[in-house]
């Protein structure tokens, strides 16, 4: 029932293609979360290339990975830069800021002890 309900969030174009049998519900549920334009592009590819559900999953994953618009990339980059500067100011340890993590490097046990002391501070 939940998967069927998710199909209601699809564009009218996508819903028509499911209702007419042009694409399966399996294909359609993969498209949830994509904007209408991307749904149409992928649906047309599914139909034109006779893609399997698995092939469609790969295509959508690729679109989601590479489809972030430029302004979203810029916001993400600016946010990471903001955190890098803040961390550099308040974290007195060798560290790297990555996409969704902070990697802290220690030269020796004393650095580890200092870090643990640093964490205990209020």
Q: Whose CA is closest to 3, among 39, 36, 28, 21? A: 28
Contact predicate 32/10, CB 8 Å = yes
* Residue that has been written with the tokens 């990697």 in this structure: 103
What is the overall mean pLDDT for the chain?
Answer: 82
Return residue ranges of the chain for CATH 1.10.10.2830: 2-66
Q: What is the pLDDT of residues 5-53, one digit of tens each?
A: 889 999 999 999 999 999 999 999 999 888 899 899 999 999 999 999 9
Burial class (CB in 10 A: 0-12, 13-18, 19+), 88: exposed
Average pLDDT, stretch 42-68?
Answer: 86
Q: Whose CA is closest to 84, among 99, 69, 105? A: 99
- Reported as a pLDDT band with limits 50, 70 and 90, residue 76 is low
Contact predicate 77/84, CB 8 Å = no
- Reported as a pLDDT band with limits 50, 70 and 90, residue 84 is confident
Which CATH code fits 2-66?
Answer: 1.10.10.2830
Minimum mean pLDDT range among 49-53, 77-81, 110-114: 77-81
Q: Is the pLDDT of residue 65 over 80?
A: no
């Amino acid at each position: 029932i939940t998967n069927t309900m998710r199909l209601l969030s699809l564009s009218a174009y996508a819903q028509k293609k499911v209702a007419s049998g042009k694409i399966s519900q399996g294909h359609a549920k993969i498209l949830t979360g994509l904007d209408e334009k991307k749904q149409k592009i992928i649906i047309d590819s599914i139909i034109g290339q006779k893609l399997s559900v698995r092939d469609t999953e790969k295509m959508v994953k690729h679109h989601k990975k590479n489809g972030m618009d430029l302004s979203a990339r810029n916001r993400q980059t600016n946010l990471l830069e903001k955190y890098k500067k803040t961390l550099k100011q308040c974290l007195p340890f060798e560290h790297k800021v990555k996409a969704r993590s902070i990697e802290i490097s220690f030269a020796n046990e004393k650095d580890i002890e200092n870090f643990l002391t640093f964490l205990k501070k209020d």
